[in-house]
Structure 1
């Protein structure tokens, strides 16, 4: 046996080094001639380095991310003495045509197994078996008549594979015009330029969607402007608290069972609205707006709750006015009415402004936690996250309980962390003991 050393080829462009981005083999792998060994990246393109001999991989140069010099040792392959001799014979020709350089390490005491090439053969080297930079193909790529075998990987660079993924193209269907059937950018361009139905029963038309520039106007522009103001002006502090809603859900289901037909169905929002009204009664500084230009905090005597609502035109915040004076069913009816008006585009200007504190919820999509952005110029917002049944330790055993996280954000310029924590704790107490929602203190 002998070893063949394959060196990092000159990939052109006048570069002296390249970054190793991917190994296609590992030490111990048995490979065939023309198999891709690894990929290096220049400042312009990814280049695959093929093997010019068959054998066993015994050494690799570094790890992905390493920078390698052009002409440095790339891979060592253990192969038969005869194959090594043939590789040595091709060295002169390989150096002239830019294919991977290779040298042969002869094992001690086995020189007689490797015959030196005769002079007349050296003068007429064989053509290189593999090229580092194949010429661009001018022949349009056509679909294969049969797919590659299961598990067989089409020969293509990482950049081409990414392009194919983005365009939804199965590279197993594209015929490559490069050495050993490697797929080039020209092959992929030709395939995309001639849309065709992917074969083998998929029936999928491989047509990339055209690029499109969407001008930010109308509602989306106003949302962008308001979010920019909120995020740039307000230093947010967010508190996430776990809340046990088992008893609240039991009460809600019972009330719906008794009154849903004549009064409408209750969701969690009316309960949360009532909890907010009771909590801000003790902390009026959170039911407020902050005019940062005038340096004035306006504490509202009434609670006008903004309900973040997703509409076809974007996020809007209709307002439940004087929520402190509403019953659960009044609040539920008003939330439903405002949501319908907002989604249909019929909400009036006064129904979309004037809120003093807001609620945001992802509804059925849910989340474990969120970081709500405050609805400027308000100073607080309460985010509702999804409910989930979780095991809770009650002191003697784990019991199943319905748990929901509240994510609440505050304007840290005017709301201290302590006051924010007191507010969140009050909401937690009211929700976990729903009877407190109906007690007038």
Structure 2
């Protein structure tokens, strides 16, 4: 038997260190080739580290939340044959697949070994007893789902990698509870004294750092404008009825992207990045729209590149593709960087007013609130209209208040008279 050492790979872009976000294996586990061993976090994306060999995990090189240098020992695996323990060559640079931030672990050799047998599926009860202070692995979405259902995660057996609790495990737990007549029902008004500590690591730590940095460095101010979207919603419904089957359904987002593109022609100072260290503002002709997207690991901002050159359906398809990639953890670093202005929306949960935080080094972010029907006075008559607020934030170091108001009012005019979106 030998030991195969896997080192932290060189992910490129001059990155010298990355954060170890999560282990998917533990000491003693049998692993097979291409099985994901760990997640690491760069400044821009989550990256999976797969195993290049079959074998047994004998040592882990760090703990979740630890920042590790490129080239440091990530994991040691016992394999059949000589292994690579005595090799000392530096790890080879790793190229990222264009469709997803997957990388091959940097290793010095790949000995031929017999495949370790995959463990057979075992039927297990969805319930498990853990220590009161033991924190099971679960995504933020699963934790919220469990909280909404009144389930203590430490009692749920996880079927995901490394025992991660999935949504399916919560459903199985509930089903088991309903079918088990001897199980005591939880009292609706029973006292609870349980606590759960969640370490801020990985994507959540990056988001926290970026939000804190943005609010400390930029001079935020917000501007809210009410918009009558009745006409644009009628146009959207008409286009979906006529072309939805052949071209795909349109949401409101592609129209908002188009309105941004047209309005920025008269307000180029909004489509800019501010380097506050060099004291330089860079205005860009290309409109790369970041679309804030919620995922299980936190808020991500995939980028619709060259929105100025896209049709409604082209923008819609790209928004959908990027959103799915972000939610599934498949968005590449290039797809998550390079935006010049950001569009953020909470959809039906959009509330009345919000105060978006700038996506530095950008100087403007446009926030979309929910659409509601409201009685409005139009030409002296009270009529029901579909209304929506835009709650947008700007960097007051670069953008003057009047310019921000005029920019949002320009967007308002384009959306309320949708034909003007397409008049050149």
TM over 0.5: yes
Query: Does the CA-based 8 Å contact 2:348-2:371 persist in structure 1?
Result: no
Alignment of 1:39-438 (within 5 A): 206=190, 208=192, 210-438=194-422
3-state SS in 2 of match to 1:372: coil
Distance 2:407 2:294 in 1: 27
CA-CA distance at 1:405 after TM superposition: 0.5
Q: Any conservation in 1 of the 2:224–2:391 contact (CA below 8 Å)?
A: yes
Alignment RMSD, CA only? 2.4
1:204 deviation in Å? 5.0
Task: Give per-residue Cα distances to partners, 1:330-362, cap 9 Å, x unaligned.
Answer: 000000000000000000000000000001111
Q: Quote the Cα distance in structure 2 between the aligned partners of 1:211 and 1:291.
A: 43
Deviation at 1:202, TM superposition (A): 7.5
Deviation track 1:166-222 (CA, whole Å, cap 9, x = no partner) reads xxxxxxxxxxxxxxxxxxxxxxxxxxxxxxxxxx99855946352222111000000
Q: Distance in 2 between matches of 1:359 and 1:222?
A: 20
CA distance in 1, matches of 2:214, 2:286: 23
SS in 2 for 1:409: strand
Corresponding residue for residue 129 of structure 1: none
Query: Structure 1 length normalisation: TM-score?
Result: 0.54
Alpha-carbon separation, structure 1, partners of 2:193 and 2:298: 24
Cα distance per residue 1:18-43 (max 9 Å; x no partner): xxxxxxxxxxxxxxxxxxxxxxxxxx
Residue 201 to residue 274, structure 1, CA distance change in 2 (3 Å)? closer
Partners of 1:362 and 1:218 in 2: CA distance: 23
Q: Structure 2 CA distance, aligned partners of 1:314 and 1:202?
A: 31
Alignment size in residue pairs: 246
Residues 215, 245 of structure 1: alpha-carbon distance in 2 compared, 3 angstrom cutoff: same
Deviation at 1:396, TM superposition (A): 2.2
Q: Distance in 1 between matches of 2:189 and 2:225?
A: 49
> For 1:214-266, what per-residue CA distance to the aligned partner results, in whole angstroms no more than 9, with x for missing partners?
11100000000000011111111111000000000000000000011111110
Task: Give secondary structure in 1 for the equivalent of 2:249.
Answer: coil
Q: Alpha-carbon deviation of 1:394?
A: 1.5
How far off its partner does 1:395 sit?
A: 2.8
Q: Distance in 1 between matches of 2:322 and 2:193?
A: 37
Q: Which has the larger radius of gyration?
A: 1
SS in structure 1 of the partner of residue 245 of structure 2: helix
Q: Cα deviation per residue 1:364-397 (whole Å; 9 max; x = unaligned)?
A: 2121111111111100000000111111111322
SS in 1 for 2:265: helix
Which runs of 4 or more aligned residues in structure 1 lie more than 6 Å from their structure 2 counterparts after TM superposition? none
Cα separation, 2, equivalents of 1:326 and 1:293: 34
Post-superposition shift, 1:422?
A: 1.1
SS across alignment from 2:349? coil
More helix, by proportion: 1
Unaligned runs of 5+ in 1: 1-199
In structure 2, distance between residues paired with 1:431 and 1:309 = 23
Residue 69 of structure 1 corresponds to none
In 2, the alpha carbon distance for the partners of 1:437 and 1:367 equals: 26
In 1, distance between residues paired with 2:244 and 2:285?
Answer: 32
Which gives a bigger RCO, structure 1 or 2 (Cα 8 Å, sep 6+)? 2
